Amino acid sequence: HTAAALTAAAPRPPKADENWKSKDPKALAHEIATFMGGEWPTRPVRKVQLAADGVPTGDEELFEMTMLNPTLLSEMSLKTRFLFLEVYLEDLQDVYSEVMETLKGDKVTYDSLRKFKHLAISLAFNAVSDVCQQAFDKTDFDPFPEVAPDERPGCVCPLDVKAFTQQTAAAVALVKMMVDAEGELPPAAEPRIVRVEKKFYYDDI
Residue 40: predicted pLDDT: 67
- Rg value, the chain, Cα: 23
> How does pLDDT run across 78-130, given as a tens digit for each residue?
999 999 999 999 999 999 999 999 999 999 999 999 999 999 999 999 999 99
Residue 205: predicted pLDDT: 52
Higher pLDDT, 82 or 7: 82
Residue 169: predicted pLDDT: 97
CA angle 171, 172, 174 (to 5 degrees): 65
pLDDT band at residue 7 using 50, 70 and 90 as cut-offs:
very low
> How does pLDDT run across 121-175, given as a tens digit for each residue?
999 999 999 999 999 999 999 999 999 999 999 999 999 999 999 999 999 999 9
Residue 200: predicted pLDDT: 59
Cα separation, 47 vs 37, in Å, equals 30
> How does pLDDT run across 8-63, given as a tens digit for each residue?
454 444 344 446 777 776 776 667 777 777 776 788 889 999 998 889 999 999 99
- Cβ density class 85-107: b for 16+ within 10 Å, e for less: bbebbebbbebbbbbbebbeeeb
Average pLDDT, stretch 180-187?
97
In single-letter form, the type of residue at position 4 comes to A
Cα separation, 200 vs 146, in Å, equals 43
Residue 112: predicted pLDDT: 97
Residue 132 burial class via C-beta count within 10 angstroms: exposed 0-12, middle 13-18, buried 19 and up: buried
Higher pLDDT, 120 or 197: 120
In single-letter form, the type of residue at position 118 comes to H
Cα separation, 5 vs 14, in Å, equals 20
Q: At a CB cut-off of 8 Å and minimum separation 6, what does 194 contact?
A: 69, 71
Higher pLDDT, 197 or 125: 125
In single-letter form, the type of residue at position 148 comes to A
The answer on pLDDT for 201 being more than 90 is no
Average pLDDT, stretch 173-182?
97
Residue 42: predicted pLDDT: 81
pLDDT band at residue 203 using 50, 70 and 90 as cut-offs:
low
